[in-house]
Amino acid sequence: MSCSEDLRLTIRQQANFACEFCGVTETDTGGELTVDHFQPRTKGGTNDPDSLLYCCQRCNQYKADYWPTHPDDPSLWHPRHDPIETHLLQLADGTLHAITGTGAFTLRRLRLNRTPLVAYRRRQQVQIEERRLLERYRHLVIVLEQLYQRQVLLLEEQQRLLDTQRLLLQLLLRPKK
């Protein structure tokens, strides 16, 4: 789809430079993604910015020009209207599990559990856990540094008390004249 550079930038920014369906970023793909109509123009969609999505080539390809034509036809999840957690649950192994009919249809239609995406999500989970552990480690280092400083102060105080005790003992043990 062709659109003005300003509109394209707006759509990219709204999507945080990532596919609004699968989450793959421009950085991950090594280039810009595509601007697509959620409701295809051939099925009555418009060029209104709210009806445009930013998506990767694969999601765009699998979505194609799908649009429900009958009331019983399943609907695709619209990433701008509902958070992903409304329809899909990400499991610990990186796969997505549908929790609604819309989620199940979207999962199948866009093949959101394709092997590279599962590996991508798993890598993201590992990176998030690594960052969490690093933050915890940094916090522990700060606490240890504070404990070390406290220990230094206590050792200095102990030395002063020992020096005072030594002086007192010397005074008490001094021979009387």
Residue 98 belongs to some domain of the structure? yes
> Measured over all CA atoms, what is the biggest interatomic distance in the chain, rounded to whole angstroms?
116
pTM: 0.76
Structural domain boundaries, residue 78: 5-113
Name the nearest CA neighbour of 29 among 129, 116, 123.
116
User: How many domains are contained in the chain?
Assistant: 1
CB-based contact 95:116 (threshold 8 Å): no
**How does pLDDT run across 4-40, given as a tens digit for each residue?**
889 999 999 999 999 999 999 999 999 999 999 999 9
Q: pLDDT band for position 52 (50/70/90)?
A: very high
Residue 12 belongs to some domain of the structure? yes
Residue 177 belongs to some domain of the structure? no
Name the token pair of 42.
């051939």
Residue 78 belongs to some domain of the structure? yes
Name the nearest CA neighbour of 11 among 110, 105, 26.
26
- The single-letter code of the amino acid at 135 is E
Residue 137 belongs to some domain of the structure? no
| CB-CB neighbours of 101 under 10 Å | 11
pLDDT at 4: 85
Residue 145 belongs to some domain of the structure? no
Residue 93 belongs to some domain of the structure? yes
Residue 161 belongs to some domain of the structure? no
Q: Please give, one letter per residue, the 3-state secondary structure of 7-55.
A: HHHHHHHHCCCECCCCCCEHHHHCCCCEEEECCCHHHCCCCCHHHEEEE
**How does pLDDT run across 118-147, given as a tens digit for each residue?**
999 999 999 999 999 999 999 999 999 999
